[in-house]
Amino acid sequence: MSTLQNTISMMETLPETDLIKIQNFTKKLSQRHELEAADEAVGKFLPPKSREDIYRDLEISRQQAAEGKYQEAGEFLAELRAEYGI
């Protein structure tokens, strides 16, 4: 008997509560895999930043906001939609 057949045979004897636990566990594994894949994809485009880099970027953004050097999100999104035909 193959591993798959053995697994199916064992699962057929399990109560519903155990099957639900297995189903929830496999969902969590799948979600974790998806998150790790997304992290890896983002990591290819955005290099990791140190705490100091993040704080420096935050300070720069605060200064820019205080100086009025910002754009409303709605305006920005409208420009993106127009530029890319979305």
pLDDT tens-place string over residues 18-77: 999 999 999 999 999 999 999 888 888 888 899 999 999 999 999 999 999 999 999 999
Q: Which residues contact 5 (CB under 8 A, 6 or more apart)?
A: none
DSSP type of residue 47: -
Given a cut of 80, whether residue 5 has pLDDT beyond it is: yes
Provide the whole-model pTM: 0.43
Q: Residue 2: exposed, middle, or buried by beta-carbon count in 10 A (0-12, 13-18, 19+)?
A: exposed
Given a cut of 80, whether residue 1 has pLDDT beyond it is: no
